[in-house]
Amino acid sequence: MRRLLVVLGVLLLGALGYWVYRQVFPPDQVVIRKQLHQLVEDVSFRREGASPLAALASVNRLLGYFAADIEIRLGDIPGARNRLIQGRDELREALAGSRAAASSFRARLRDVYVDRIEGGQAWAQIIVSVWVDTDEDEYVQELRLRLVKEGRTWLIRQVDPVPTLRM
């Protein structure tokens, strides 16, 4: 009986150690998913009552998700058809301009699929829903992301729209 308790104790201790290890060092897929969900939360805003300084701080916080040499192709987005954003400075201007033009912006991440991770790079596809101002219409876009690992953080280096089938 004593031997059984020792074996159970060792198994429980091993399981606890494994759980702690996974909490401290989560797999890259988990880190990427968590960062993308946090990005979508941070990109959503409501301007009423927000100071210009808070809006600037929010834009700078968003820039922390992107690599310095970010490249974003907007594709078939209304108001910005086939626009290309290159670099953090141009992204900062685009984010600040969009926050000044809209009174609210809400985004929701519908799906995240991490294709592969190799050599400090990852490729993912996401489906995101967006609502601008008080518009009831939902805009849905599928995007392909290329991320690079810097330290323990994954930064978005490239964003491309996934072409949709038209009937």
Return the percentage of the chain with pLDDT > 70, whole number: 92
Provide the number of structural domains found in the chain: 1
Q: Could you report the per-residue pLDDT of 10-34, keeping only the tens digit for each?
A: 899 898 888 888 788 788 899 999 9
Place of tokens 């308790």: 5
Q: Can you give the pLDDT at residue 50?
A: 65
Q: Could you report the per-residue pLDDT of 70-98, keeping only the tens digit for each?
A: 999 887 665 566 788 999 999 999 888 88
- The Cα 129–Cα 62 span in angstroms is 18
**Looking at the domain assignment, is residue 112 inside a domain?**
yes
**Looking at the domain assignment, is residue 154 inside a domain?**
yes
Please give the structure tokens belonging to residue 82. 């086939």
Helix and strand numbers (H, E) in the chain are: 4, 7
**Looking at the domain assignment, is residue 13 inside a domain?**
no
**Looking at the domain assignment, is residue 1 inside a domain?**
no
User: pTM higher than 0.85, yes or no?
Assistant: no
**Looking at the domain assignment, is residue 152 inside a domain?**
yes
**Looking at the domain assignment, is residue 18 inside a domain?**
no
The pLDDT mean for the chain works out to 86
Side chain identity at 66, as an amino acid letter? F
**Looking at the domain assignment, is residue 90 inside a domain?**
yes
- Lowest average pLDDT, out of 36-45, 116-125, 135-144, goes to 135-144
Question: Domain of 37: which CATH number?
Answer: 3.10.450.50
- Lowest average pLDDT, out of 68-82, 94-108, 127-141, goes to 68-82
Domain limits at 108?
28-161
**Looking at the domain assignment, is residue 142 inside a domain?**
yes
